[in-house]
Structure formats: structure tokens, C-alpha cells
Structure 1
Amino acid sequence: MRAFRQVDVFPGSALGGNPVAVVLDAEGLDDDAMGAFARWTNLSETTFVLPPEDPAADYRLRIFTPASELPFAGHPTLGSAHAWAEHTGSSADRLVQECGVGLIELQRAGDGWSFAAPPLLRSGPAMDDEVAQIAAGLGIGAGEVLAAEWVDNGPGWVVAVLRDAEAVLAVDPDLAAMRFPTGVVGPHPAGGPADFEVRAFVPDLGVDEDPVTGSLNAGIATWFLGSGRAAGGYTVRQGVRVGANGFVRVSGRPDGIWIAGATTTVIAGTVTL
């Protein structure tokens, strides 16, 4: 029997976020067992907490989608920090997570946690042929993509900017034509529910549309704040088309770009693995 939490991450209202399953005390589980449990939970991600190998870390995290393992993902990072602190009784305001991309710094942030955006593994504008492929996957014309940029911090993200939030919500993707993990973002008008609307599609990882996505929002923030498309900080709504109500807070600070959201334990108990 192993300690277990299921945590709602980035909820803008009760049960409005993205759930992550967190197996604590995961020592002794092999890759096949982790992958099988991730397929069984059928969530965007399932995580497994292990003792750190780096002495600077509080714990080590492995992150699985229903189809494969990821070196980093955002909402599992926040949800696992919440679950680990709750399970261990830690009142620390800062934690360090070890994962496939290295060490990720975390801080408590009001009703949840925040993480420092990791460096991009791939950045820069998408090429014309890539824009055409992105548009085909999104089921829109290439001319509707105002800008497209690689913002890969682990999952392989490329993101397309559309004219506004309404256009983002109208996207009806052709998942069979989608060649990359693809995000799409557009601004809300002043007084809207957030500054930007975001959607995320990752069919190759077994997740057609992710409800709320920390890694994608971290990549977008790295691009937007670094290029002047946004300044200081902003908010994001995500998940409307899949019945979620996610809310992400982005801050640009002297010590980096931070992605924050609420975290709430919904299920606590044990699992037999």
C-alpha cells in the first residue's frame, strides 16, 4: 500500500482545474508499473515521488501521461509539491523538485504553489512549413496564425497566436493532422475573465486536449515576457472547451518567470501497486 493523493491544480472554481494523481513513496516501482498505473488513471499526468538523487532537491519526480514519460510538466509539478508537503507535514515555503529537466524551484503562493519556469530546450519562430502544419492540426488557415513560436521546455511545445480569445475557443482541431504538441493563445478584451485564453493539444501523448497546462503557460510566458508581448504579469483562462475552468497566474520577477495556481486535495488515501 502506498500513500496517494489526487490534486486539482489551477482550479478557477471548485473542481475546475486539472487533476493529477500522485503516488507518494514510489520506491521499488519500475517503468512498466508506473506506465500501467498512468494508463489506468487515464488523467493527463500521473506522478511518482521518489527520494532525490541530487542533494539540493527535496524529492525526485517522475511524470507519466497515459502514453509516455515526460521530463517536465507544470500542473503535475504544482500538484505533487502540494501532495508531498501535505503528506510529509512540511510547512516549508520553498521546495526544490528534481525531474528530467533538472531542478525546479517551487514556492507557496497564497491558495497554492508556483514554479520557476525552466529554460527552453527549443525556442525561436516556427518556419513557414511548420506554420502550415500547425494550422492544419488546428483546423484553421495559415493566415489566421498571427505568430508561431517554439516554446519547448520538455513536452515539445509549439504555440500559435490567434487574433483573440474567441478565435481560440472556436478552434476545432484535426488531431490526426497534428504533428507537434500544440498550444494556441489569444487575448481577451479588457474586463474579460483573464488576460489570455489558452488551449493545449497533445494527442501523441494520449491527451487530446489538456484542461490546464503549466508547462505550456511557462513556455508562452518565457516568449511573451521576453519579447514584450506582455509585461510584468498576466492571467490565463484555460479548459473551457473540455468543461474545466482553469486559472493561471503568470509573474515576471527579477528571479525568473513564475507560474502559479491554486492546488486542492480532492482524494487522499492509499493505492495498491
Structure 2
Amino acid sequence: MFTSTPLAGNGLAVIHDADALDDATMVSIARETAQSETTFVQTPTADGADYRNRIYTMVEEIRFAGHPSLGTAVAVARAAGVTEARYRQQTIAGVQPVEVELAGNVARASMLQEPAEFGEPIDPLPVLGALGLGPADAHPELPVQPVSTGIYHLMVPLRDRVALERMRPTLKRVEALEAKTSTMVLYPFVCEGPSDDERVHARGFFAERDHVLEDPATGSAAGPLCAYLHRHTGRTASTIAQGVEMGRPSRLETAIVGDRVQVAGDCVIVLEGELHL
């Protein structure tokens, strides 16, 4: 997801017809696929929803995520044999509108995430320390702040690309920060300029089990970042480059639409098959 190039972007496994699967089985399948997230398409239980999207990491179910939402909508449309679709997707966070266009194995999807919620800014020094950085790497004006458009992530503005590229996160400190701020991902970023046309570069880190994982593309953090930049700098849209440092380049497109953030990107299908249990 968030790429039109096979084996780039952020991978996703989508399991159709998952009504009969219990929670323990879904966790086991997610561990077997070894993706950052695996989704399970079920019959909706919310009014007005077209399907229910259960999103699992290799450890647990989560409220909401970006690339699993968009990628699942693409998979649902492909299974239905349509080239264009509009869905209302049910997640724990709510019901989100998603649009899909398919052309062969490549698709484009966009969604409106939940209205932004902002936590209180926090001291940047412990956050920088958890990322292996120092006080000089902090952005001189922008705050470190938790933001949610479905799930809370920690926005961490940095001074320059050099700081972004040399980060070395520490497991225990990342775990402690995520617990203290009730956030899932630390999302350090750098803006190349103040205008909407200037690209934003970001990386996403989260603690899982006994190590820190880096995410090639974090759609559920791209939305909060767009809302954050709109509040603090006035930007109404941002194109975010992520995954570059880990060799899986991704492109996430975000824009303010009313009281919500739209997140969009390309998707390429690389594998289809059957799951036998």
C-alpha cells in the first residue's frame, strides 16, 4: 500500500469471509502472515456500514490503521469484480468513507479519517532521547504532540533530514513513551518548506514484543500529521515520503476536507490465494 511498485510500500494481508474466525485464530493468522497488520473482512454490525474491517497486528487487534483500511477496500472491490467503488467501512474507531479505483493489479484508494483530536504538547527531550537524538535536533518552533484521527500517534517535528536519517530508537524508552502518552507510533518528521507543495519526510516507530519496528507507511499517522500541520502552520495538504530509509519507499497524500483529513495513495496487488485451516 502507498506505492504502485511491487514489493515497495507497506505490505498487507487481507482475509475475506472471516465471520467464523475467533479472536485467537485471527491473531494466529496475523502472526503467520508476518505483516505489520493483517485484516479480516466480516459482516458489518454498524448501521450504514458496507463491511466490518478487523485490523490485527501480530499481537492484538487495534482500533484503526491507515494502510489496512485502504488496502482492505481495494481487496473488497477486487473480490466484487468492480473497477470503482465507494464504501463505508466499519472499524472500532467508527465508520469511515473509502473510495477505490482499480486498473488491473494497480489501484488508488482514499479515505476520510475521523475528526482530529489533539492531546497536550509534551517535553521534547525524552522523546528525542528515545529516538537516539539530542536537544539540537528538535524543531525550533513546533511542539511534540499526540494527535488522533482514529488512533493517537505522537507527532515529533525535527530540525532537518540529517536528524531523521540517523535515528536509533531504544526499545524501553519507546515503550515507556507510548505508554505514557497513550500513543501507538512515534512519528518523527521534517518539512522541506511551509507551502502545501513542499514534501514532508517521515518515519514511524513502534514497540512490539521485544524490539522496535519501523513502519514503511503509516496512514493512521499521516492523517494526524496533516491535521497537526494545518493547526500549527496553516498547511491544507501534505505529500509524505516514508519508508525511504528502510528501502520500501512510500508516498502518502493527505488533505484537509471539512472537519476531517483525507488520506490517499496507490496500491499494487502482488499475491492472491486461499487460506486452509
TM-score normalised over the length of structure 1: 0.87
1:86 aligns with 2:95: no
- In structure 1, distance between residues paired with 2:100 and 2:259: 15
Partner of 1:211 in structure 2? Answer: 216
Partner of 2:159 in structure 1? Answer: 163
Q: Secondary structure at the match of 2:274?
A: strand
| Residue among 62, 74, 77 paired with 2:66 | 74
Instruction: Please identify which structure carries the higher strand content.
Output: 1
Partner of 1:6 in structure 2? Answer: none
Partner of 1:196 in structure 2? Answer: 200
- In structure 2, distance between residues paired with 1:226 and 1:189: 16
**2:100 alignment partner AA:** R
Partner of 2:43 in structure 1? Answer: 51
**RMSD value, Cα:** 2.3
- Give the C-alpha shift of residue 133 in structure 1: 2.6
Pick which of 171-180 and 102-111 moved more.
102-111
Aligned residues: 259
- Give the C-alpha shift of residue 201 in structure 1: 0.5
- Give the C-alpha shift of residue 174 in structure 1: 1.6
Partner of 2:148 in structure 1? Answer: 152
- In structure 2, distance between residues paired with 1:213 and 1:169: 17
Partner of 1:136 in structure 2? Answer: 129
State percent identity of aligned pairs: 31
- In structure 1, distance between residues paired with 2:125 and 2:264: 33
**2:121 alignment partner AA:** A
Check conservation: 1:194, 1:236, Cα contact below 8 A: no
- In structure 2, distance between residues paired with 1:101 and 1:73: 9
Question: Structure 1: which 5+ residue stretches go unaligned?
Answer: 1-8
Instruction: Give deviations 1:73-119, integer Å, cap 9, x for gaps.
Output: 00000000000010122444321100100101112368410111213
- 1:126/1:137 CA distance change after superposition, 3 Å: same
Q: Secondary structure at the match of 1:157?
A: strand
**1:24 alignment partner AA:** H
Q: Secondary structure at the match of 1:172?
A: coil
Question: Structure 2: which 5+ residue stretches go unaligned?
Answer: 179-184
1:30 aligns with 2:26: no
TM-score normalised over the length of structure 2: 0.86
- In structure 2, distance between residues paired with 1:64 and 1:194: 33
